[in-house]
Amino acid sequence: MTLPNNLIDRGKVGNTPALLSRADETYADFMRDTRNLLLHEPFRQISALAEGELKKNGVELALDHGVIDKVREVSRNVPEMATFLRVKRSAQEIYKQRIIESYNTQKDDFIRKIEAAEKRGPGTLTYDPDFIYPAYATVEIHIQPDGYTGHPLAGLYYDYGTSVFFGDGGKDDVLHKQLAAKCATPKDGKVTRILDVATSIGQLACELKKRFPDAEVHGIDISSAMLRYAHWRALEQNTEIHLSQMASEDMEFENGSFDLITSHLLFHEIPVPVIKKTLSEIRRLLRPGGTYVMFDFPTATPQSPGYGGFAGLMDAADNGEPYAYGFVKCGIEELLEEAGLKLRSHDKAEIAKTGRVCDAV
Ligand SMILES: C[S@@+](CC[C@H](N)C(=O)[O-])C[C@H]1O[C@@H](n2cnc3c(N)ncnc32)[C@H](O)[C@@H]1O
């Protein structure tokens, strides 16, 4: 491959292409660490402080522009809150921008590689170039310019970005290896067909294929950009997964055709009406006794508001997470059961370890 001037092909870190120069990489590492240090460590203290300040000022949290404006008003007089929000937003913008600038120095090469992989196996890729995205799926989630759906290299940018969100789990797909290893299975042990819903860049689908090499593993996602990159990424690992562009609320598979269905971090990124339709689709696709495992944010309760408190509300407002706040407050456990997906455990600590494990009833 021919590279401009001082650039060399720096290979991959695990399954993720390295940034295009050492300077880009150290800069991105610095921004990641800064972000983690400033945001993750003091997260609890700032949230507790903010909850108290908001209460004092009579602000009741809700996903509503009037409330968000009131939170900003209160924040202006509490330097810790104002600084937290500013640093979070700026660190995210700078980090994303540098990653994108770095990869874009070889944009055409990346696009060529992804295109060249399309018709090669193992595995298959199906997408519709004229797919019309519903408006909710086109937001610039996590402030990624053009979001998941609007740029041909969205998958590549997302891949590197997960090293911030997943911490050490973002390196070499460590988190997805752990999820696949602990993923519950149907009680009768039969796992011949698996579906990973909103598979994104295919990390969990690939790791499930490695755990269940005899199973047929499918992954769907609404974004063709994510799937095209996912297919190239799976090929690089010589792993056979079948990827199709579909919306989770309308999946074109036969009733009862899967033993095991998974999703990781889908539900906090879709609006509540789409959550409900997706759950009923998942139930439809599971065979009797089949199992669904939802890996996602914990549910907010008054005792433990977590993402349902100040930090979540402002993440929704400032970090392109418009649906996460609604998810943690929507009563997902009840919605699962209403859809005919029976939870094996309602215990919060257990769910934190295993995900929300459900059997088709
Ligand atoms: C945070 S990523 C998922 C991460 C991935 N599952 C993993 O294991 O790390 C969210 C994904 O959901 C996809 N998505 C959003 N709405 C969707 C929908 N209605 N149906 C299918 N995919 C959807 C996005 O395109 C994106 O790839």
The ranges assigned to domains in the chain are: 173-306+330-360
pLDDT band at 264 (very low <50, low <70, confident <90, very high): very high
Average pLDDT over residues 277-291: 98
> Residue 2: pLDDT above 80?
no
Q: Is the pLDDT of residue 138 over 70?
A: yes
Q: Give the nearest ligand 1 atom to 199 CA.
A: 6
Beta-carbon contacts of 189 under 8 Å, excluding residues fewer than 6 positions away, are none
**For residues 7-32, average pLDDT:** 87
Span from the CA of 48 to the centroid of ligand 1 (angstroms): 31
Specify the pLDDT at position 168.
Answer: 72
Q: 231 C-alpha to center of ligand 1: Å?
A: 15
Mutate which of 127, 166, 223 to test ligand 1's pocket (most atoms within 8 Å of Cβ)?
A: 223
Going by alpha carbons, the residue nearest to atom 13 of ligand 1 is 198
CB atoms within 10 A of CB 355: 20
pLDDT mean across residues, the chain: 93
Beta bridge partners of 358: 292, 343
**For residues 240-255, average pLDDT:** 98
- The kind and range of the H/E element at 243 are strand 242-245
136 CA: nearest ligand 1 atom: 16
Is a pLDDT exceeding 70 seen at residue 8? no
Query: What gap in Å lies between CA 285 and CA 272, rounded to an integer?
Result: 20
> Can you give the pLDDT at residue 229?
98
> Separation of 199 CA from ligand 1 center, angstroms?
6
Band of pLDDT at residue 3, cut at 50, 70 and 90 = low
Stretch 146-161: mean pLDDT: 94
Ligand 1: atom nearest CA of 264 is 6
Query: Ligand 1: residues within 6 Å at CB?
Result: 137, 148, 176, 198-200, 203-204, 221-223, 226, 247-249, 264-266, 269-270, 274
Pairing status of strand 216-221 against strand 193-197: parallel
Residue 26's pLDDT band (cuts 50, 70, 90): very high
- pLDDT for 193 equals 98
Query: May I ask the CATH class of domain 173-306+330-360?
Result: alpha beta
What kind and span of H or E run contains 360? strand 356-360
